[in-house]
């Protein structure tokens, strides 16, 4: 297992790289050019700037998260071909600095959806929270209008500058079924994967977050069956997964450890996150400790270890603790604690494996 840490860039993150370097076992950063709009090719000089920043601290930048997919590709519009060509250009440029894995998603409109960014837990920490009742009966087009006219009404991810585009996007997606989205994803993969293979880069799709429809938008990467279908769209080793235990684990019917064992050879990037899901489907993100949520992190780590996982992994979202001011879900402290929890499990599994092999040889 190769531990990495998500970092949002100089001037865009409250966590300096010298702090990241001090977290035991972290060897690289997970990064992106977050200011480049989806669909545009990333400038090579900007990519090289990030490499220089990481090199100063002996950190690699093997994993990019995310090279976002333009909505016209997801919608299957004629303009998608130019955006796919731009995507190919970005892949080639990332290969020049040694990138090995590109994480991306195929979620319509939003990368993720939450109803609260700083919901308080019993211990006084705060975390990202999703409550079904808050959006269950909301018409998204009406909600866009309400938010535009009321500065106190907000939804996470619905930034004011995006509102003017949301109405159009929701209207366009009313004509897109889940099956349509599957076919648009196939079209994208058939062109992207050969380029990734040529440059020794693995593409790793992130599951939908949450793994069910929100506002009636189609969701297709949500469970074991849909992942099996995805991997057969373009059945090549470069076409793989970012297996996110928190995204998939928000549905208590998903057995993430089973998925690890089923898809181990196609998991290029592991996101390890815990959530606590209520009976009604609401969920809140928790510490990485198994006992604090409904995701069995212990079994997931054992599955990775049993499968001999040597890919990249990172602690996914954490709580906001000890008064830290941070990007929602991305505080330094709880993710640092999460890494030590994950390493503790891994080191014990390594010890037990070694002791078992010695016992077997006596």
Give the whole-angstrom CA distance, residue 227 versus residue 12: 33
Q: Is 341 a catalytic residue?
A: no
Q: Is 320 a catalytic residue?
A: no
Q: Tell me how far apart the 2 most distant CA atoms of the chain are, in Å.
A: 75
Helices (H), 97-244: 132-135, 140-149, 160-173, 178-198, 224-233
Q: Is 271 a catalytic residue?
A: yes
DSSP at 274: -
Contact indicator for 111, 209 with CB cutoff of 8 Å: yes
Q: Is the dihedral of CA 193, 194, 196, 200 positive or negative?
A: positive
Catalytic member of 60, 271, 288, 320: 271
Catalytic member of 60, 70, 184, 206: 206
Q: Is 87 a catalytic residue?
A: no
Catalytic member of 288, 305, 317, 320: 317
Catalytic member of 62, 208, 316, 334: 316
Catalytic member of 62, 72, 209, 244: 244
Contacts of 28 (CB under 8 A, 6+ apart): 2, 4, 5, 54, 59, 60, 61, 62, 63, 312
Give the whole-angstrom CA distance, residue 67 versus residue 72: 15
Catalytic member of 83, 104, 330, 341: 330
Q: Is 330 a catalytic residue?
A: yes
Contact indicator for 255, 245 with CB cutoff of 8 Å: no
Q: Is 187 exposed, middle or buried (0-12, 13-18, 19+ CB in 10 A)?
A: middle
For the chain, give the number of residues: 362
* Angstrom distances, CA of residue 285 to CA of 125, 205, 249: 11, 21, 10
Q: Is 316 a catalytic residue?
A: yes
Residue 22: other Cβ atoms inside 10 A: 10
Which H or E run contains 315?
strand 312-315
| Residues belonging to the active site | 206, 244, 271, 316-317, 330
């Amino acid at each position: 297992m190769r531990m990495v840490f998500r970092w949002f860039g100089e001037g865009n993150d409250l966590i300096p790289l010298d702090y990241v370097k001090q977290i035991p076992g972290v060897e690289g950063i997970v990064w992106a050019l977050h200011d480049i709009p989806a669909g545009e090719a990333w400038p090579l000089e900007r990519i090289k700037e990030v490499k220089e920043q990481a090199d100063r601290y002996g950190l690699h930048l093997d994993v990019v998260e995310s090279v976002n997919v333009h909505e016209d590709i997801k919608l299957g519009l004629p303009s998608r071909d130019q955006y796919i060509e731009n995507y190919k250009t970005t892949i080639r440029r990332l290969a020049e600095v040694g990138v090995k894995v590109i994480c991306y998603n195929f979620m319509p409109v939003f990368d993720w959806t939450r109803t609260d960014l700083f919901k308080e837990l019993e211990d006084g920490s705060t975390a990202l929270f999703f409550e079904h009742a808050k959006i269950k009966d909301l018409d998204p087009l009406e909600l866009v209008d309400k938010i535009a006219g009321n500065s106190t009404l907000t939804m996470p991810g619905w930034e004011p500058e995006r509102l003017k585009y949301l109405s159009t996007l929701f209207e366009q997606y009313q004509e897109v079924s889940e099956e349509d989205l599957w076919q648009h994803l196939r079209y994208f993969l058939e062109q992207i994967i050969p380029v990734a293979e040529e440059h020794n880069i693995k593409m790793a799709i992130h599951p939908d977050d949450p793994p069910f429809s929100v506002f009636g938008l189609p969701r297709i990467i949500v469970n074991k069956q849909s992942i099996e279908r995805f991997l057969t769209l373009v059945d090549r080793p470069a076409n793989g997964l970012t297996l996110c235990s928190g995204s998939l684990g928000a549905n208590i019917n998903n057995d993430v450890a089973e998925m690890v064992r089923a898809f181990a050879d196609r998991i290029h990037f592991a996101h390890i996150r815990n959530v606590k899901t209520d009976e009604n489907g609401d969920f809140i993100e928790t510490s990485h400790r198994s006992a604090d949520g409904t995701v069995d992190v212990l079994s997931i780590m054992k599955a990775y270890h049993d499968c001999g996982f040597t890919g990249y992994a990172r602690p996914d979202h954490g709580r906001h603790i000890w008064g830290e001011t941070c990007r929602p879900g991305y505080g330094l402290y709880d993710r640092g604690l999460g890494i030590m929890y994950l390493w503790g499990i891994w080191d014990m599994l390594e010890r037990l494996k070694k002791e078992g092999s010695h016992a077997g040889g006596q």
